[in-house]
Structure 1
Amino acid sequence: MDDDVQTELEQIRASIDNIDAALVHVLAERFKYTQRVGRLKAEHDLPPADPDRESRQIARLRSLADDADLDPAFAEKFLNFIIDEVIRHHEAIRG
């Protein structure tokens, strides 16, 4: 492989690694808030899932993805994965 190509590849991969680290930190911050929601729901005997909010969030994220030239179906799958994990946490908090 040409040295210039190798250098560019390493620079691009370093950027990807930085974005991956940022994603992990943003997700950790998001889960701090969803844990607070879970505790509040448990204290007030609210159900762990909120299908109406989840539907609104999916529609919102699909729109944001479309605006960002990201596949909305991928964005929906990603959010559904997060929602499933949040609900699991809320159920555990409710215990």
Structure 2
Amino acid sequence: MSDAKTAERAAEILKAHRESIDRLDAILVYTLGERFKHTQAVGKLKAEHDLPPSDPAREAIQIARLERLAVEADLDPEFAKNFLNFVIAEVIQHHKKHQS
């Protein structure tokens, strides 16, 4: 195969990967948006019933669950744990901001 054809084929493969990445980014953003709608509903329910904004026992269970899912998905479990901790912190911050 000539260098030009090899480069053209590589460009096609690169384009396909980038299109997949773009679709997955959109899925992630919309999925996070949907997740935050539910956490907002949970926060509102907790506020209405004077419940604490965080639930350390549930958070520990969720972290273990995501670490397990990460291993199954061939993803670094530490990344999954850090990601969930980031999401939890954002949710708590959002709830505190809207309670003030």
Smaller-chain TM-score bracket = over 0.9
User: Following TM superposition, where does structure 1 have runs of at least 4 consecutive aligned residues deviating by more than 6 angstroms?
Assistant: none
Deviation at 1:92, TM superposition (A): 2.2
Higher CA-based Rg: 2
Looking at structure 1, the residues matched to 99 and 57 of structure 2 have their Cα atoms a distance apart, in angstroms, of 20
* % identical equivalent positions: 58
Higher relative contact order (CA 8 A, sep 6+): 1
Gaps of 5+ in 1: none
Which of residues 40, 43, 49 in structure 1 aligns to 2:48? Answer: 43
Q: CA deviation at 1:93?
A: 3.0
Aligned to 2:57: 52
Distance in 1 (alpha carbons) for counterparts of 2:96 and 2:59: 16
Is 1:16 equivalent to 2:50 in the alignment?
no
> Contact 1:38–1:48 (CA<8 Å) still a contact in 2?
yes
> Partner letter of residue 37 of structure 1?
V
What is the number of residues matched between the two proteins?
Answer: 95
Asked whether 1:88 is paired with 2:86, we answer no
1:29 is matched with which residue: 30, 34, 52?
34
Contact residue 38 and residue 93 of structure 1 kept, 8 A: no
What is the match of residue 67 of structure 1? 72
Distance 2:67 2:98 in 1: 29
1:45 is displaced (CA, Å) by: 0.8
Contact 1:62–1:72 (CA under 8 A) maintained in structure 2: yes
TM-score by length of 2: 0.90
- Tell me, in whole angstroms, the C-alpha distance in 2 between the residues paired with 1:26 and 1:83: 15
